[in-house]
A and B are shown apart, each in its own frame.
Chain A
Amino acid sequence: MSSKMQSSNNIAQARRTVQQLRVEANLERIKVSKASADLMHYCSEHAKYDPLLMGIPASENPFKDKKPCTIL
């Protein structure tokens, strides 16, 4: 690759980097306190529908083997 091609590739790359940074710099950001509050709210609203968090009664657990009891 000629050095002219290489430097024009570098310029193209630099332009893309700057373009991407411009997009990211223009973002509207909310405060972490608000973001956290929303996440906590989501978790508490959905906790009752979370089997691994609430525990699963044996009768409703498709993975629990219902083995017959052996009387020794």
Chain B
Amino acid sequence: MGEMEQMKKEAEALKTQIEAARKAAHDTDMASAASGVAPAPRVQLKTRRTLKGHLAKIYAMHWCTDNRLMVSASQDGKLLIWDSHTGNKVNAVPLKSSWVMTCAYAPSGNLVASGGLDNMCTVYNLKTPVIKTVKELDAHTGYLSCARFLSDTEILTSSGDTTCVLWDLETGKQKTVFLNHVGDCMCLSLSPDMNSFVSGACDSLAKLWDIRDGQCKQTFQGHTSDINAISFYPSGNAIITGSDDCTCKMYDIRADQEVISYQDAALNSGVTSLDLSASGRLIFAGYDDFNCNIWDSLKGEKVGVLSGHDNRVSCTGVPGDGMCVCTGSWDSFLKIWN
């Protein structure tokens, strides 16, 4: 067909144009630019709490904005709400489906959400006398890999059906469907200004989306396998990704390209999760090899390791005040380090 041939040609030409523009902007890389920066201190954190209570693999955790409570999800079919200061369990939410893959705390602290192989995102109100299910968001045709509240009335989800969706929690309906990935979406991260988000997928791409107009604005390549973890840098101008290809990468949004890769020849386990310290200088990345490695985000060097879990580290989270890092594992425990 004439039109197909024409479009193939145009696509190839545009890809070449994009690559040339990126190359023209690539006058250095992050590590070289940061060669004059003092190295980050060797980071040696101690386990301050080991939270015991789940009876099976932990798949996800998320801090509350009060920097004290957190929610964790396990395939024992429960969400647990913890007071991290005392180590006590504050609440337990039994799940209809035990195949949970993600959990989230609303910024208000009023709601939590979970989802997984049931393809649904279920939202619970923690403030009613008995914890109530307030919505079951049911439209994805694949597993729910990640959920993040924008507020008590909006939540973003990513799915194995390759889409991300913005939901209206008052109506329970989809507001916007974000279509562009060609592989399962595995993770998402909201920008600090809440106008955009990034998603990582099994197509090895990360994409930047405008929340309001639904458009994919940018695509970041470089990984050679599934992207399992993604986070905005606190400045909002860069993103960090973690992949099954055993590397983490930083992509600068305004330069539209990879600027540094965090890797080590001795590391041959996939990255499952990641989060950043308050300034963004330190990256805490959880791996399949049971460890969480700490990277200097500017210089690309490993500056520490959190060892203590007896199975894969599946989730990692730093609270908003940056006072600690929490790791959750398939060994059923959560650990708090600082």
Q: Once the chains are docked, how many angstroms separate the CA of A18 from the CA of B29?
A: 29
Q: Which label, helix, strand, loop or mixed, suits the secondary structure of the A interface?
A: helix
B73 → A minimal CB distance (Å) = 22
B12 → A minimal CB distance (Å) = 9
Closest to B321 in A: A51
B43 located at the interface, meaning its Cβ lies under 8 Å from any Cβ of chain A in the complex = yes
B198 → A minimal CB distance (Å) = 14
Q: Once the chains are docked, how many angstroms separate the CA of A15 from the CA of B25?
A: 28
B2 → A minimal CB distance (Å) = 11
A62 located at the interface, meaning its Cβ lies under 8 Å from any Cβ of chain B in the complex = yes
B281 located at the interface, meaning its Cβ lies under 8 Å from any Cβ of chain A in the complex = yes
Interface size on B, residues (CB 8 A): 65
Q: Once the chains are docked, how many angstroms separate the CA of A39 from the CA of B237?
A: 8
Q: Mark A23-63, 1 if CB is under 8 A from B, else 0.
A: 11101011111111111101110110111110110000111
Q: Is the CB of A22 within 8 A of B234?
A: no
Given A20-B180, A24-B218, A38 and B237 touching (CB < 8 A)?
yes
Q: Once the chains are docked, how many angstroms separate the CA of A52 from the CA of B322?
A: 7
Partner pick for A39 among B28, B30, B217, B321, CB 8 A cutoff: B30
Q: Is the CB of A30 within 8 A of B25?
A: yes
A72 located at the interface, meaning its Cβ lies under 8 Å from any Cβ of chain B in the complex = no
Q: Once the chains are docked, how many angstroms separate the CA of A32 from the CA of B252?
A: 8
13 further contact pairs, Cβ within 8 A, besides A32-B29, A35-B255, A43-B280: A15-B7, A17-B7, A22-B14, A24-B219, A29-B255, A36-B30, A37-B33, A42-B235, A50-B322, A53-B43, A56-B338, A63-B85, A63-B338
Give B residues with C-beta under 8 Å from A: 1, 3-4, 7-8, 10-11, 14-15, 17-18, 21-22, 24-30, 33-34, 37, 40-41, 43, 45, 48-49, 68, 84-85, 180, 215-219, 233-235, 237-238, 252, 254-257, 259, 277-282, 297-298, 318, 321-325, 336, 338
